[in-house]
Amino acid sequence: MRASNLFAAALVIASSAVWAHAEDESAENAAPAEREAIVEATSRGDAVIETAAPGWHYPKAYAARPLVMNKYMIRGTFIVDVKRAAVDRAGVRTTRPLVSIDLGAAFSPLENLEVGVTNYRVGSTGPVTGQAMFPIVVSPIGTFGDMPVYVRYSFMRKDYVEMAADFVLSIPSWTNLSATFGLPTRIRVRDKVSIDTGTELVVLSNGAGLNIELPFKFTYSPKPAGFITLDSGFSFQNLARRLTGGSYIDTNLAFPVARNQVLVPLAVGGGYTLVVKNIVMLDFFARGGWNPFVYVNPPSGGGINALPLRDSWIVSAGVVIHTSPVLQE
Three-class DSSP labels, 198-245: EEEEEEECCCCEEEEEEEEEEEEEEECCEEEEEEEEEEEEEECCCCCC
pTM: 0.80
Contacts of 120 (CB under 8 A, 6+ apart): 77, 79, 104, 106, 127, 320
Cα 221–225–230 angle (5° rounding)? 35
Query: What is the rounded CA–CA span in Å between residue 91 and residue 140?
Result: 13
User: By residue range, what is the domain housing residue 142?
Assistant: 41-327
Query: What is the rounded CA–CA span in Å between residue 73 and residue 84?
Result: 35
Residue 32 falls within a domain, yes or no?
no
Ordered per-residue pLDDT tens for the chain, 329 residues: 444 444 444 444 444 444 444 444 444 444 333 333 333 443 333 344 788 888 898 999 999 999 999 999 999 999 999 988 666 666 566 778 889 999 999 999 999 999 999 999 998 888 888 999 999 999 888 889 999 999 999 999 998 999 999 999 999 888 888 899 999 999 998 779 999 999 999 988 766 678 899 999 999 999 999 999 999 999 998 886 665 555 667 777 777 777 788 889 999 999 999 999 999 999 999 999 998 888 887 766 555 555 566 678 899 999 999 999 866 65
Specify the 3-state DSSP secondary structure of 108.
strand
CB atoms closer than 10 angstroms to residue 260: 13
pLDDT at 13 (0 to 100): 45
pLDDT at 90 (0 to 100): 61
Residue 225's Cβ-count burial label (10 Å; 0-12, 13-18, 19+) is middle
Any idea what DSSP says for residue 291?
A: E
Q: Yes or no: say if 84 and 73 are a contact pair by the CB < 8 Å rule.
A: no
Residue 130 falls within a domain, yes or no?
yes
Helix (H) or strand (E) segment spanning residue 170: strand 161-171
pLDDT at 207 (0 to 100): 65
Specify the 3-state DSSP secondary structure of 298.
coil
pLDDT at 87 (0 to 100): 62
Query: What is the rounded CA–CA span in Å between residue 186 and residue 201?
Result: 18
pLDDT at 139 (0 to 100): 86
pLDDT at 18 (0 to 100): 40
Residue 146 falls within a domain, yes or no?
yes
Q: What is the CATH number of the domain that holds 55?
A: 2.40.160.40
Residue 8 falls within a domain, yes or no?
no
pLDDT at 326 (0 to 100): 67
pLDDT at 34 (0 to 100): 33
Residue 30 falls within a domain, yes or no?
no
pLDDT at 8 (0 to 100): 45
Q: Smallest Cα–Cα separation from 216: which of 241, 239, 195, 200?
A: 195
Query: What is the rounded CA–CA span in Å between residue 292 and residue 235?
Result: 9
Residue 89 falls within a domain, yes or no?
yes
Q: How many domains does the chain have?
A: 1
Residue type, 47: A
